[in-house]
Amino acid sequence: MAKLYFYYASMNAGKSTVLLQAGFNYRERGMRTLMFTAAIDDRAGTGVIASRIGLSAPASAYAAETDLFADIAASHAESTVDCVLVDEAQFLTRAQVWQLARVADDLGIPVLCYGLRTDFRGALFEGSQWLLAIADVLTELKAVCACGRKATMNLRIDHEGRAVTTGQQTEIGGNDRYVALCRRHFVAAQAGLHQP
């Protein structure tokens, strides 16, 4: 039975690397995958999944209005799809998470989603909230804080490396804008008591 999976972590935990490896494993066995990434994240180019270790692959870019179920069902009707992989899953809408659940339930295709759990304020993203609510399997990937503890939080920093505590939920960036920290150091940095 196909399932909806959510692999979540803070930044720098290797989510995109794990996704690309999973896609490679399917294709190596002659299976067809569909890969999606958020159109809003164009750091490596629109429709490209890229990891910090240099791996990348083309993907279909989705926006808030994309009907993922319709796109996947149409592709599956042309040629069997064995797995769907979604990067930057925190940017999914509630409706899209339910569409992906239908892909698993109605089409029998496993759906593997990878994304952040929380934003720079410690609040859930919409896609993450709904994946945590309805996914069949939840798996936390681990990142490490500079202190050696598990990093679970994403601290946004300014150009001087100071914590940013206000602003839009989504601001695309990498290591130049975000630092993965344990909860203790995240709280201290937001209070100005600790430099990331």
Average pLDDT rounded to a whole number, residues 74-87: 97
What does pLDDT average to over the chain?
89
**Is 66 a residue whose pLDDT tops 70?**
yes
Alpha-helical segments (H) within 108-196: 126-134, 183-190
Residue 158: per-residue pLDDT:
78
Query: Is 88 tagged catalytic?
Result: yes
DSSP H/E element including 74: helix 68-78
Residue 131: per-residue pLDDT:
98
Residue 179: per-residue pLDDT:
85
Cα within 13 Å of Cα(49), Cβ side = 30
Tracing tokens 């149409």 back to the chain, one arrives at: 74
Residue 167: per-residue pLDDT:
65
**pLDDT tens digit sequence for 29-63:** 999 999 999 988 777 677 888 787 888 788 999 99
Which residues, at least 6 apart from 157, have a Cβ–Cβ distance to it below 8 Å?
163, 164, 177, 178, 179, 196
Average pLDDT rounded to a whole number, residues 180-184: 89
**pLDDT > 70 in the chain, percent:** 91
Active-site hit among 28, 65, 78, 88: 88
CATH number of 4-142: 3.40.50.300
CA distance 76 to 13: 31
Q: Where are the domains of the chain?
A: 4-142
Residue 123: per-residue pLDDT:
87
Residue 52: per-residue pLDDT:
79
**pLDDT tens digit sequence for 133-153:** 999 999 999 989 989 999 998
Which residues, at least 6 apart from 31, have a Cβ–Cβ distance to it below 8 Å?
82, 83
Per-residue pLDDT band for 170 (boundaries 50, 70, 90) equals low
Average pLDDT rounded to a whole number, residues 103-110: 98
